[in-house]
Amino acid sequence: MFDLHGRKINKLRISLSEACNMACTYCVSSLHDHKRDPDELKAKQIISLVHMLKDHAGIEKIRLTGGEPLLYPNLIQVIAGIREMGLSSIGMTTNGQLLARKAEALAKAGLKSVNLSLDSLQPEKFKSLGRVGKLYKTLEGIEACLQNGLSVKVNMVVIKGENENEIVDMLEYGLTHGIEIRFLELMAMGPLYKKDDYKLVSMHEMLERISARFTVKPVSADQDSTSLRYWVPGGYFGIIPNNSAPFCSTCSRLRLTSNGQLIGCLSNPTPISIHHLLNHPDPADALQKIVKKSISYKQDFAFTGSALVMSRVGG
C-alpha cells in the first residue's frame, strides 16, 4: 500500500510484548515501565492479523520486537505461522539475553535475521546502561545466531559521556566477527522526550571517531533502509542518524502493538485497533481503511519526538 507521500509501505514491526528483561536508561525510567499488556495478543491472533495485512495491505517483511520478543511465550509458533503463509523475510530485534539456548529452534522455525542491541563491550557499562542483564549472555546469543546460520547485525545506541569512547572497539568487534555494526543516534522518545540535553552523539561525531582510526567510504544502502552504510577495510558499518539525517522520507514501516493496534508513525503515534477484525468474516475493506488512516499519520520528513516508549510502539 502507498501513503500520501507515495511511499510504499510493506514492512511490519510487531511488538510481541511490552515486557522486557532489561531497562535501558534511554528507553524507560525504570523496569516497571515495561508492563505486559493484559490484552496481549495470542500467537494465533498475531498470525491471523499478519495474514490479513499480507493479503489486503501488501505487507511483505516482518520484524518481531518489543519489549523483549524472547519473553513472548509462543514465539516459535508465531515465526512458524508467518513462514507458513509464505513470508520469508522474518527478522527479530532482541537484547539477546535469552538467545543462546533458543537460536537453533528459532532458525529452524524460519527466523532469518537478528538485530542485537548491544551498547557496550564492558561488563560494568553494559550493566549500568541496561540496569539489568549480563554482557556475556548477549555475546553468547550472538555466537549462537552465527552458528545457526542466522544473519546478524548489532545495534549500538551511542550516548554522550557513556559509551561514545567504545565506538571504535565495537566496530573492531564487528569486523572480527563478520558482523555489521549499526550506530544509532539517540531518539527523543519516552524518558528523553522534550529533554533539552539528552546526550545525543551526532552522526558527524561518530564518523569523526571512526575516521581517526579507519579509512571510511560511504556506500549505497537499500532504498528504504534506515541506515547510512559505510565501507572500512575489512567490512561495513552503518549509522542510523535519526536526528542528523532522518530517514522518514523513505519510511516503509507500519507497527502493530502487542494488544492489536496499528501505529503508522513514530512521531505521530495515533494507535488504531484492528483487534476487532479478528472476528470479521470479510475484513478486507475495513482493514484497508484502517491501514490507510494509520499511514496517513506518517510524517513527511523528520522525527519530531514522542512521549511513548519504544517497547510500546515496537522499537
Give the Cα separation of 174 and 207 in Å (integer): 16
Give the Cα separation of 179 and 285 in Å (integer): 43
Check residue 26 for interaction with ligand SAM (CB under 6 A): yes
* Residue of 19, 23, 53, 66 that binds ligand SAM (CB under 6 A): 66
Fill in the per-residue mask, 191 to 230: x = in contact with ligand SAM (CB under 6 A), - = not in contact: -x--------------------------------------
Continuous segment of H or E residues that includes residue 312? helix 310-313
Check residue 155 for interaction with ligand SAM (CB under 6 A): yes
Residues 6+ apart with CB under 8 A from 71: 17, 19, 20, 21, 98
Indicate the residue among 107 and 118 with the shorter CB distance to ligand SAM.
118
Give the Cα separation of 205 and 260 in Å (integer): 39
* Residue of 52, 59, 179, 187 that binds ligand SAM (CB under 6 A): 187
Alpha helical stretches, state H, 241-303: 284-296
Residue nearest to ligand SAM (CB): 315
Indicate the residue among 193 and 231 with the shorter CB distance to ligand SAM.
193
Q: How far is the CB of 293 from ligand SAM (least distance, A)?
A: 25
Check residue 186 for interaction with ligand SAM (CB under 6 A): yes
**Total Cβ atoms within 10 A of residue 215:** 9
Q: What distances in angstroms separate CA 6 from CA 50, 223, 251, one per listed residue?
A: 23, 14, 10
Indicate the residue among 52 and 145 with the shorter CB distance to ligand SAM.
145
Q: Residue 303 in contact with residue 240, Cβ under 8 Å?
A: no
SS (H, E, C) 83-148: HHCCCCEEEEEECCCCCCCCHHHHHHHCCCEEEEECCCCCHHHHHHHHCCCCHHHHHHHHHHHHHC
Check residue 265 for interaction with ligand SAM (CB under 6 A): no
* Residue of 62, 157, 167, 251 that binds ligand SAM (CB under 6 A): 157
Indicate the residue among 29 and 84 with the shorter CB distance to ligand SAM.
29
**Total Cβ atoms within 10 A of residue 135:** 20
Check residue 20 for interaction with ligand SAM (CB under 6 A): yes
- Cell readout for 76 is 516459535
Check residue 95 for interaction with ligand SAM (CB under 6 A): yes
Check residue 117 for interaction with ligand SAM (CB under 6 A): yes
Check residue 68 for interaction with ligand SAM (CB under 6 A): yes
Q: Which of the ranges 21-29, 50-58, 131-139, 220-228 carries the binding residues for ligand SAM, by CB under 6 A?
A: 21-29
Q: Please report, as ranges, the residues that interact with ligand SAM according to CB under 6 A.
A: 20, 24, 26-27, 65-66, 68, 93-95, 117, 155, 157, 184, 186-187, 189, 192, 310-311, 315
